Amino acid sequence: MSEKSSVRKIHPIVRPVPGVAGRTSEWRTQRPELHEENCTQCMNCVIHCPDDTIKVDPDTGFPIIDQYYCKGCMICESVCAPGAIIEIKTLPGGDVDA
């Protein structure tokens, strides 16, 4: 075995945790809105949310977006092929729709 191939590589895994940076919805100027009628429950949005703020409703199987911590990056919208997530503009502070 060569010296190079015997080197053990360690790949850290960083798992997002909601709220580590405070109430991140204060940063946003838009928020996602789920339209279940278009959702195929593919879970792409759940996997790709960088803040882990989308959970799965155990009863219905649909995603649930935690609007308190959602920072409005809209990655969930961009990975949702059926267009079940739409963007709603918000006023500064993130709580109130524009």
Residues engaged in binding ligand SF4 (CB under 6 A) = 32, 34, 39-45, 49, 51, 53-54, 63, 65, 70-76, 79-80, 82, 84-85
Q: For 27, phi and psi rounded to 5 degrees? A: -80, -20
Classify residue 13 by its DSSP letter: -
Closest approach of Cβ 6 to ligand SF4, in Å? 40
Nearest residue (CB) to ligand SF4, 1 versus 22: 22
Q: How far apart are CA 39 and CA 56, in angstroms?
A: 12
SS3 6: coil
Element (H, E) at 45: helix 44-48
Nearest residue (CB) to ligand SF4, 72 versus 90: 72
Nearest residue (CB) to ligand SF4, 5 versus 34: 34
